[in-house]
């Protein structure tokens, strides 16, 4: 199965997948709706400016790969739909994370959890990691983990469908020894700091809610 997409095809496919989940009342999308979805300023990295001709060309490429097709619906304007779930047998969780990767590029598990919540809520980072592993183990693979950047604690993930500037070709001739692994203690400390920050945020939220309650109903 050939899934290698160019940037426009990846954006069109991600936009179709997103709108099916978030605005099903407008899906399948008209060409104008799809152009607007591809070029919207929010939830897109990078922001693109695709015209109708570029979107039509991307749709033709996706149709050749059996990833999209014109929808059979009544009405004057032609509409388009993706076939990703049908072709790859994806669940709601996998679709949400793959869509977020297609639309926003390389991301950490924490970023993916927050940004995919409007499509499907993942309970915690453990569930995010579980779904990412399913995408990685899929046949064909749909996601991969990037080498950790110097000075960063979290790994980033990308989809395996579109092009990514952050992925450089492997060149054995210029290969350098891998950096020494970070001490396990540093990783445990980072996890503890993250958990403390989460608990503090929850405590602050509880305090705000209690303050609002007192202001509305008076002190007890």
pLDDT of residue 71: 95
Could you tell me how many residues make up the chain?
A: 220
Q: How far apart are the first and last CA of the chain?
A: 66
Task: Give the range of the structural domain holding residue 78, as residue numbers without chain letter.
Answer: 7-88
- Considering the domain architecture, whether residues 144 and 131 belong to the same structural domain is answered as yes
The domain boundary, picked from 119, 136, 165, lies at 165
Asked, for residue 77, whether it belongs to a domain, the answer is yes
Task: Give domain status of residue 190, yes or no.
Answer: no
**For position 190, what pLDDT does the model report?**
54
* Together in a domain, 13 and 69: yes
pLDDT for the residue 164: 76
* pLDDT reported for residue 151: 85
What's the confidence (pLDDT) of residue 73?
Answer: 78
* H, E, C per residue of the chain: CCCCCCHHHHHHHHHHHHHHHHCHHHCCEEHHHHHHHHHCCCCCCCCCCCCHHHHHHHHHHHHHCCCEEECCCCCCCCEEEECHHHHHCCCHHHHHHHHHHHHHCCECHHHHHHHCCCCCCCCCHHHHHHHHHHHHHCCCCCEEECCCCCCCCCCCEEECCCCCCCCCCCCHHHCCCCCCCCCHHHHHHHHHHHHHHHHHHHHHHHHHHHHHHHHHHCCC
Using the predicted structure, report yes or no on whether residue 136 has a pLDDT greater than 90: yes
Over the stretch 2-55, which tens digit does the pLDDT of each residue have?
689 999 999 999 999 999 999 999 999 999 999 999 999 999 999 999 999 999
* pLDDT tens figures, 157-216: 999 998 876 544 333 343 444 444 444 444 555 556 556 666 666 666 677 666 666 666
The model carries a pTM of 0.73
Same domain, 96 and 79: no
Residue 218 lies in a domain: no
**CATH at residue 65:** 1.10.10.10
The predicted model gives 51-78 an average pLDDT of 93
In a domain, 67, yes or no: yes
Looking only at the bridges linking them, the beta strands covering 79-82 and 68-70 are antiparallel
Whether residue 219 is predicted with pLDDT greater than 80 in this model: the reply is no
């Amino acid at each position: 199965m050939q899934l290698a997409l160019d940037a426009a095809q990846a954006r069109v496919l991600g936009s179709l997948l997103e709108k099916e989940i978030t605005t099903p009342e407008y899906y399948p999308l008209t060409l104008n709706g799809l152009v607007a979805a591809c070029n919207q300023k929010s939830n897109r990295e990078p922001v693109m400016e695709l015209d109708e001709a570029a979107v039509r060309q991307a749709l033709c490429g996706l149709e050749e790969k059996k990833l999209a097709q014109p929808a059979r619906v009544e009405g004057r304007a032609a509409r388009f739909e993706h076939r990703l779930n049908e072709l790859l047998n994806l669940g709601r969780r996998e679709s949400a994370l793959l869509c977020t990767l297609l639309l926003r590029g390389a991301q950490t598990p924490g970023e993916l959890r927050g940004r995919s919540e409007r499509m499907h809520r993942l309970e915690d980072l453990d569930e995010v990691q579980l779904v990412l592993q399913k995408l990685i183990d899929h046949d064909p693979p749909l996601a991969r983990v990037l080498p950790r950047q110097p000075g960063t604690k979290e790994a980033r993930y990308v989809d395996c469908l579109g092009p990514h500037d952050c992925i450089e070709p492997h060149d054995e001739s210029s290969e350098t020894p891998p950096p020494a692994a970070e001490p396990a203690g540093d990783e445990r400390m980072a996890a503890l700091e993250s958990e403390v920050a989460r608990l503090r945020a929850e405590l602050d939220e509880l305090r705000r809610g209690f303050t609002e309650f007192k202001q509305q109903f008076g002190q007890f």
